[in-house]
A = this chain, B = another copy of it.
Amino acid sequence: MVVVTEPGTSEKQIEEIIRVLNEHGFDVHRSTGVQQTVLGAIGVHPEFDHRQIELLSGVAEVLRITEPYKLASRTFKREGSIFDIGGLKIGGNNVVVIAGPCAVENEKQIFTIAEAVARSGARILRGGAFKPRTSPYSFQGLGEDGLKMMRAAADEYKLKIVTEVMDKSQITLVEKYADILQIGARNMQNFTFLRELGTASKPVLLKRGQAATIDEWLMSAEYVLSGGNHQVILCERGIRTFETATRNTLDISAIPVVQKKSHLPIIADPSHGIGIRDKVIQMARACVAAGADGIMVEVHHDPDHAKSDGAQSLFPDQFAQMMKEVRLIAEAIGRTIG
């Protein structure tokens, strides 16, 4: 923490600030400038509330310096993490494609879509069995039946599975069927839940909260990592801004920013970011070009009759076209899809 005093602060005030910092266990180094004095408060006290110093007389500004996360940080682990999910690599040079419907609706639907996305090169099947819906009057998912159908379809077409877990009571059940546990944006700061995921046996795909800064997102990853689960994949899916022309604003710049701050793989979800089918391909291309370690897109063979999010789901032939284009883009930057 760095404390900057106001111009004209008296020696006595400065001494009092130093006294308080010492009392809280900080070593203080003082730099006296012409206008202002700067106090470097050295020591790691993550629970300390810097606003306490902000309120002291003579203090102009308090700047926090200790990064709140450790295990998620690239200074903790220099090399980018690569996770091996039953032979499939996430991270490194590989760009993985996750595809599937918003929700599992029935056996025929999930088999049809799994076959289509596998044929075009997707490696992981997505699909919700438990659906968090904004309205209590909407379709809520098939539950365990949906998970079973999804597993069968994935096995048939040699795909891995990612599916959402909505609270800790579902973890054990979902672990039985899925390869990756998806944590929704709304749960990104559900800390008791994150703690439980720290002891889960499967990797976690952590979606960014709609109003979460990149640092808060990494802090949420830290919760899972500190619980002992070292496999956290980050997923950018759009933040809330004033722009209403799109469902969310896909923050593509989060990709290079996260890659500098953290060793964890980061993928992006253009379907939720843009929210409408006819612009998904352009955004998927942008994500891969920006360096994402993967993309997750919604695909449905009959989106007009999808129970949810049909409008942002690609048709199988659009998905095939997207794959063709992102494959070329991955090559252009020296990476491979697969």
A interface residues with partner B (beta carbon < 8 Å): 2, 4, 6-8, 27, 29-36, 38, 40, 42-44, 46-47, 49, 51-52, 54-55, 60-61, 63, 65-68, 75-76, 130, 132-139, 166-169, 186-187, 189-195, 209-211, 213-216, 219, 222-223, 226-227, 239-246, 249-257, 260, 273-279, 282-283, 285-291, 303-304, 308-312, 325, 328-329, 331-333
Contact = CB atoms under 8 A, between A and B. Distances in A.
Contacts of A255: 282
Contacts of A277: 55
5 contacts: A27-B33, A54-B311, A169-B169, A213-B245, A214-B243
A251 B283 CA distance: 11
Contact of A240 (B68, B242, B260, B282): B242
B244 A244 contact: yes
A133 B220 CA distance: 10
A245 B214 contact: yes
Contact of A68 (B134, B192, B257, B309): B134
A137 B46 contact: yes
B244 A256 contact: no
A261 to B, nearest CB: 8
Contacts of A242: 211, 213, 239-242
Contacts of A186: 189-190
A67 B60 contact: yes
A31 B26 CA distance: 12
